[in-house]
């Protein structure tokens, strides 16, 4: 089944989902290639009955993402493609905070050189917020 849910590559997690499987699938869908994929699952809709459990598990899982250059050992997430994309992503993070989304994880530059951004998770995102409507990559 294919559903059109307004773009931004949404993922839907139902109440009967296995949380561990859902988190691992969401991690791959969102953080693969630093989210620089047109099909990145940048919006995740979670059934309210498992929402809090899923968010807690997702945050814990994402805290384990190792950020750095791919020439380093055991790296899960590399840099943004260039300075333009790096600044664009940081701008969207700031916009999400300004518009009232809850920053649950990350949201900052990782390290002090290169175009690395911490794995970032927002909750309480409303449909009219920029981060819900605009394609980040």
Q: Print the SS3 string covering 11-49.
A: EEECCCCCHHHHHHHHHHHHHHHHHCCCCCCCEEEECCC
SS percent in the chain: helix, strand, coil, step 5: 35, 15, 50
Q: What percent of the chain has pLDDT over 70?
A: 94
**With 70 as the cut, is the pLDDT of residue 6 above it?**
no
**With 80 as the cut, is the pLDDT of residue 4 above it?**
no
72: annotated active-site residue: no
Relative to beta strand 10-13, strand 43-46 is: parallel
4: annotated active-site residue: yes
Tell me how far apart the alpha carbons of residues 55 and 22 are, in angstroms, rounded to a whole number.
11
**With 90 as the cut, is the pLDDT of residue 33 above it?**
no
**With 80 as the cut, is the pLDDT of residue 19 above it?**
yes
Q: Which of 4, 118, 134, 135 is catalytic?
A: 4
**Residue 10 pLDDT level (bands cut at 50, 70, 90):** confident
CB atoms within 10 A of CB 9: 16
**With 90 as the cut, is the pLDDT of residue 3 above it?**
no
Of 18, 13, 21, whose CA–CA distance to 51 is shortest? 13
């Amino acid at each position: 089944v294919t559903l059109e849910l307004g773009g931004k590559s949404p993922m839907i997690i139902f109440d009967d989902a296995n949380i561990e499987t859902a988190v691992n699938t969401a991690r791959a869908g969102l953080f693969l290639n630093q989210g620089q994929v047109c099909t990145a699952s940048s919006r995740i809709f979670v059934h309210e009955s498992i929402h809090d459990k899923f968010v807690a598990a997702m945050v814990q899982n994402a805290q384990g993402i190792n950020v750095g250059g791919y020439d380093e050992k055991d790296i899960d997430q590399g840099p943004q493609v260039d300075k333009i994309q790096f600044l664009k992503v940081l701008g969207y993070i700031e916009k999400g905070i300004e518009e009232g989304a809850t920053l649950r994880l990350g949201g900052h530059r990782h390290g002090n050189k290169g175009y690395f951004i911490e794995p970032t998770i927002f909750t309480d995102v409303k449909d009219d917020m920029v981060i819900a409507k605009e394609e980040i990559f």
